[in-house]
Amino acid sequence: MRLLVINPNISESVTSLIDAEARRAASPGTVVTTRTASSGVAYIETRLESLLAAPAVAEIVAAEGGDADAVLVAAFGDPGMPGLKELVDVPVVGITEAALATASLLGVRFSIVAISERITAWYRDCVDRAGLTSRLASIRSLRDPLRGIGTVQEDFREDLVRLAHDVVEHDGADVVILAGAPLAGMAREVAHRLPVPVVDGISAGVAQVEALVRLAPGTARAGSCARPPAKDNAGLSPALAACLAAPHTTGADR
């Protein structure tokens, strides 16, 4: 299967981390293609930054998603979700929703460990939108400024492991989610040091979209994730305009 992975951050160093972890996580037959958003910010921390990144993600989904079997949006916080699901006929999944789905099977309550305090409000929105706030034990985050977005793991590994222990001991977490693409791949390195299962967004995302492709559940031609009804548009790229021009909606949502 062909998996299109999109880094909504403009940081190539993060794209490298994502790409490496996606390839480690992929099944033998999966071909991973990773793309980086052409516009936006180095590292999405806020709702505004997510909003500004979403159109660049949409552009890549529109241009290349149709040739893939599934699309993975690889920034925690899931910029553009769930709207991007309307864009193409293949599954489009964010790493947060994939991580939450995965964590939900490994325990009853989970916590999120994040790399900045400002980012936690946006993550909380994401868990709310998933309907899983009652299963969220806590969100804890680093408090120190980052030296560089590509080196968070090496700079803060011990702090992050300590936070993971804290959420288990003090907040009642059964599962820990290491959140944020800059932490891609760290879970497999520290899992043996943690007393509960640990989930990485990128590998959980790859596993979940592979599962969806294998299940072949069918395409949304009705409901809120079907293509939008055709209507005039302006100022959109040819790829986006083409997606919007060919809706599949049927009776059910007319």
Contacts to a copy of itself from residues 152-191, by CB under 8 A? 165, 168-169, 172-175, 187-188, 191
**Biggest distance spanned by C-alpha atoms of the chain:** 55
Q: Is 6 strand, coil or helix?
A: strand
> Measured in Å, how far apart are the chain's first and last C-alpha atoms?
33
Q: Is 87 strand, coil or helix?
A: coil
Here's the x/- map for a copy of itself, 25-54, by CB under 8 A: it reads as: x-x----------xxxxxx-xxxxxxxx-x
Q: Tell the smallest beta-carbon distance from residue 5 to a copy of itself (Å).
A: 16
| List 20, 157, 221, 239, residue binding a copy of itself (CB under 8 A) | 221
**C-alpha closest to that of 40 among 32, 30, 51:** 51
Residue 226 DSSP one-character state: S
Q: Tell the smallest beta-carbon distance from residue 64 to a copy of itself (Å).
A: 17
Is 159 within 8 Å of 175 (Cβ atoms)?
no
Q: Tell the smallest beta-carbon distance from residue 13 to a copy of itself (Å).
A: 11
> What is the distance between the alpha carbons of residues 114 and 176, in angstroms, rounded to a whole number?
11
| List 5, 22, 73, 204, residue binding a copy of itself (CB under 8 A) | 204
- Of 91 and 180, nearer to a copy of itself (C-beta) is 91
Within 62-121, which residues bind a copy of itself (CB under 8 A)? 80, 82-87, 91, 93, 97-98, 100-102, 104-109, 116-118, 120-121
